Structure 1
């Protein structure tokens, strides 16, 4: 099992637990918009480790989280049906971990390690 260069971890801040089953899409900006790179869902620990290749070229990337479906599955209303996080990857081979702290009416993110 290989780990992607770009990974994420979604935590349900309202419940204080990982958020399993959140759909995640990774895209890269091209001259014509956003090109899909990979998609998947968070595992039982709220992590997506196999989200794209082991190495990606430098550039602008975006993670799209399907937060609406995640909250709908538990009957929870949410203000954010999706969360988009844009970030820049340097062409140096470093790992990029992009966590999402999520609640129905707020979210935050940071550059993880």
Structure 2
């Protein structure tokens, strides 16, 4: 059965990105429909898949990672507005039976992602 998962690593501090709010949206004709909102655990992961079962279907999605709030809570002095406040990743799911893992590696001034396993 297919599912969507994510995790966040804080490259600036060399640790998991814990306590980061993540919102998942389904993109329907440029309209965003929020389908999940979670917060990362102590390991920078979500306690359950973001999508699975009947809700997991092919389409275009966006993940919104609230990185600016995370760094502010850690006491990092960010300019206002922050260079990276909310990191938005738009991606597609084409194979409903597959596991899609979308990790995020962040710092206050950069990010990286890939399709993981």
- The question of a shared fold, defined as TM-score above 0.5 by the shorter chain, is answered with yes
Aligned residues: 110
Task: Give the gaps of 5 or more residues in structure 2.
Answer: none
Q: Distance in 2 between matches of 1:108 and 1:30?
A: 25
Q: Which of residues 33, 42, 45 in structure 2 aligns to 1:44?
A: 42
Normalised TM-score (structure 2): 0.87
Normalised TM-score (structure 1): 0.90
Matches within 5 A, 1:21-32: 21-31=19-29
RMSD: 1.6
4+ aligned runs moved over 2 Å, structure 1: 49-53
Matches within 5 A, 1:92-111: 92-111=96-115
Instruction: Give the equivalent residue in structure 1 for 2:69.
Output: 69
Q: Distance in 2 between matches of 1:15 and 1:44?
A: 14
User: Does the CA-based 8 Å contact 1:5-1:96 persist in structure 2?
Assistant: yes
Deviation at 1:74, TM superposition (A): 1.2
Instruction: Give the equivalent residue in structure 2 for 1:15.
Output: 13
